Amino acid sequence: MQLPPRGTVDALPRRVLMQHRSEAIQPSSWTLTEPALPLRRGVMAALAMATTALGIHWLTALLGGGGIDALEGLVIAAFSVTFGFSCIAFWTMMAGIALRLSGRHPVTLQRGAPAAEDAPPLARTALVMPAYNEDMGDVVHCLMSTLQSLRDTGQSEAFDCFLLSDSNDPAQREREREAMARLQRRFPTGPGLYYRARDENTGRKPGNIRDFCERWGAGYEFMVVLDADSRMTGEALLTLVRRMVANPQAGIIQTVPLPVGQRTVLGRFQQLAASLHARHIANGLAFWQGNSTNYWGHNAIIRIADFKACCGLSPLPGRPPLGGDIMSHDYVEAGLMRRAGRSVYVLPEIGGSFEGMPGNFIDDLKRERRWCQGNLQHLRLLTGRGWRPVTRLNFLLGGLAYLTAPLWLLMISAGILDAVVSPDQGRWVNAATTRPDTVVPLIGLSLMVLFLPRLIGIALATREQRGYGRRWSLLRGSLLELGFGILRSPLMMVLYSGFILRILAGRPARWDTSLRGRRRIPAREAWRLGTPIAAGALTVGLTVAMGAPSLLPWLLPALAGPLLFPLFLQVTSLLAPAWLPATPAESRRLVPVNPIAVGRSPRPSAASVCPPPAEDYRPMPLQPLSIPAGRA
C-alpha cells in the first residue's frame, strides 16, 4: 500500500484539502450521519423533564401538607437539581440499552457494521503517548501489547509511535531511553518508534501534545492519543483511522476505554461496573449528542490539522484552583472543536480499547479530586460566547457530577435537623410514615431511576455468557458490585463535598503522576485516614438515635458507607479473591497482552535510541475561551 510522503497532507492549503476530501470520499457504510438529531434531543429532554417533574410533585406533596416554609423550599430546590441530573443519566442509559437491543448504531441509527468492501484507505497516523515519571515496566507492557496487535494486522506501516516524555528526573529519562531502545529492537521493520523528552513540563499534558503537533504534526493526518496505561487492538486502530478518512467533517472520534488489569478488590469492582454499563452510557450519549459528544483525553483519534487550528488551550484568568491551567482539558478541547464547526463523535461499537486504573481508594481519590477541580473550572466557561448548546450542557453536567454531592448532603442534613429539633420528631418523618400514597411512589420512582438500568445491564451481560459457571460467576460478581456501589455512593457524597470545600478555600489539586500499581493500604494508614469521617458518621447516628429514633432506619443506608470508610480503605486495596470475576473482555482474552517479555538486555547507549523525525515547526495558536461579541 502506497502512503503519501510525510508532510504532503499539511502542505496543501486547508481549503483545497477539504475540497479534495469531499470529492474523494463518497458516502458509504463508513459515513457518519445524524438523522433526526433535534428530534432525539427533544424526546430525551421531554422524558428527563417529565420524570423530574413527577419526582418533584410527589416530594412537594409529601413535604407541603401544611404549606412550604423556607427550609422545605430549599430541600425541594436541591432535590430538583440532583434528581434531574439522575433522570438525565437514567434516560441516557435506557436509550443506550434500547439501541443495543435493537442492534442500531447510536449515531446513524443503521443496523449492521460498516461493510469491509467499503473500507477507505488508511492515512498516516501517529500514536502519541505523553508520559510523566511513569513506571516504565507498565508503559512497555502497554506499548508492546498495542504495537504487536497492530503489527499482526499487517498494516502497521501507516503508523508511527511517539513516547513524549515530560519526566523531570534524569534517571527516569534514562530508563525511558532504555525501554524505547529495547522496543525499537523488537520492532525493527515498523511501526516507527520515537522518543522525545521536553526540558520543561509547560502546560502539562495539553502542552505536551501541543509541542508534538507543532514539531511533527505536519507529517501526519491523524494522531491517536494514548495514556501511559492505554492498550488498543490493531483492529480498533485501523477502524478509527478508516472512520476518520470516511468522515472529513470529524475532528475527534472517541472510543470507550474499558479499565482492565487491576487485581485488587477495588479494581475488580470498578472494572466490572465499567464493563457492564459504560457502553450503555456511551450509546445513550452518542444517541442524543450526535456530533457534539465529549473527548475523554485518550484512546481517541484526532485530525491534527483541525486540532492545531482550533484547540490551542488558553489558561483561565486568575489563580488556581479555579483559574490557571484547565485540569479537565479534554472537555474544553471538544468544545473548541465544535465551536469551529468540526464534529466530535463517540463510537461505542469500536471494541478493543482499554486502560488501567488505580488499585486503591487513596490513589483513586487523588484522581477524582483533580477531575473535580477541572469540572468546576468548566462552570466558569458557561457564560462564554461561541460555545454550542450541547457543549454548555456538557460543562454543566460535568460540574453537577460533583456539585450534586453537597446538595444531597444538604437535603439529608435538613431532614436530620427537622427530626431532631422538632418536638414531634420531625414533620417529614411523620409524613413519610402516615402518607404511604405519596412516599411509596416517590421511593419507587427514585429506586427505578437509580437501579433499573443497572439491573438490565447485569441481566444482559449475564445472558451473553456461555456456560452456567460463567453466568453464575458474573451474576454473583455483578450483584456484589451493585451492593458495593450502594455503600460507596454516600461515602463519595461526603468526600466530594470535602473536595469542593477545599477548592473554594483556594487549595488546588496537584497534577502528579497517576498511580496505577497495586499498592496495599496498611491497617494503620486506613484507620488514620478514615477515622474522621467514620467518627462523624457515628456521631450523627448516635444523635439521631437519641433525638429521633424513628428516623434512624431511613438514615442507615446513608451512614453505612462513611461508618465503614476505614475498612473500605484497607479491604479494597487487597488482592481480590479468585471467586470475584474478571471482566468479560479479560475472561474471553480480548485484551491485547505483551506476548514477549522485554527483558533486561545489555544497556543501550542513548545514541542507540532512534531520534524523532526531522521537525517541521508550525505554531499552534492559542484560542480564546470566549469569542468577542463581534465574532460570535
Per residue in 520-575, pLDDT tens?
A: 999 999 999 999 999 999 999 999 999 888 889 889 999 999 999 999 999 999 99
Q: How much is the pLDDT for 64? A: 74
Q: How much is the pLDDT for 425? A: 58
Other residues' Cβ atoms within 10 Å of the Cβ of residue 63: 24
Please give the grid coordinates belonging to residue 299. Answer: 484512546
**Is the separation of the CB atoms in 180 and 139 below 8 Å?**
no
State yes or no: cis peptide before 613, omega within 30 of 0: no
* H-run or E-run covering 224: strand 222-225
User: Could you tell me which residues are beta bridge partners of residue 163?
Assistant: 129, 195
User: Nearest-CA neighbor of 618 among 222, 151, 305?
Assistant: 305
Torsion of CA 35, 36, 37, 41, to 10 degrees: -150
Place of cell 463581534: 630
* H-run or E-run covering 608: none
Q: How much is the pLDDT for 23? A: 43
Per-residue pLDDT of 320-350, as tens digits, reads 999 999 999 999 999 999 999 999 999 999 9
Over its C-alpha atoms, the chain yields an Rg (Å, rounded) of 26
Please give the grid coordinates belonging to residue 91. Answer: 434516560
First CA to last CA across the chain, in angstroms?
44
Angle between helices 265-289 and 37-63 (to 10 degrees): 120
Please give the grid coordinates belonging to residue 390. Answer: 450541547
Place of cell 466558569: 380
**pTM to 2 decimals?**
0.92
3-state secondary structure of 479: helix
Q: How much is the pLDDT for 56? A: 96
383: Cβ contacts below 8 Å, ≥ 6 apart: 626
Q: How much is the pLDDT for 536? A: 97
Please report the sign of the dihedral spanned by the C-alpha atoms of residue 66, residue 67, residue 72, residue 76: positive
Q: What does the alpha-carbon distance between residue 273 and residue 484 come to, in Å, rounded to a whole number?
A: 10
**DSSP label at 607?**
G
User: Could you tell me which residues are beta bridge partners of residue 344?
Assistant: 252, 292
Q: How much is the pLDDT for 593? A: 84
Place of cell 466557561: 381
Q: What does the alpha-carbon distance between residue 62 and residue 431 come to, in Å, rounded to a whole number?
A: 6
Q: How much is the pLDDT for 18? A: 43
Report DSSP letters for 174-224, one per residue: HHHHHHHHHHHHH-TTSSEEEEEE-SS-TTHHHHHHHHHHHHHGGG-SEEE
**Is the separation of the CB atoms in 156 and 150 below 8 Å?**
yes
Please give the grid coordinates belonging to residue 205. Answer: 499534558
Q: How much is the pLDDT for 600? A: 47
Q: What does the alpha-carbon distance between residue 456 and residue 284 come to, in Å, rounded to a whole number?
A: 14
User: Nearest-CA neighbor of 552 among 533, 538, 532, 568?
Assistant: 538
Mean pLDDT, contiguous 10-residue spans, the chain (632 residues): 38 39 65 97 98 96 79 92 98 98 97 92 97 91 95 95 94 92 87 91 92 96 97 97 98 97 94 96 98 97 97 94 94 97 97 94 94 96 95 97 97 87 69 81 96 97 87 94 96 97 92 70 95 97 90 92 96 92 88 66 54 91 80 54
Q: What does the alpha-carbon distance between residue 174 and residue 608 come to, in Å, rounded to a whole number?
A: 12
Per-residue pLDDT of 9-38, as tens digits, reads 333 334 334 444 444 456 789 999 999 999
Q: How much is the pLDDT for 24? A: 47
Please give the grid coordinates belonging to residue 65. Answer: 401538607
Please give the grid coordinates belonging to residue 418. Answer: 427537622
Per-residue pLDDT of 562-609, as tens digits, reads 999 999 999 999 999 988 988 999 988 889 887 665 444 445 454 456
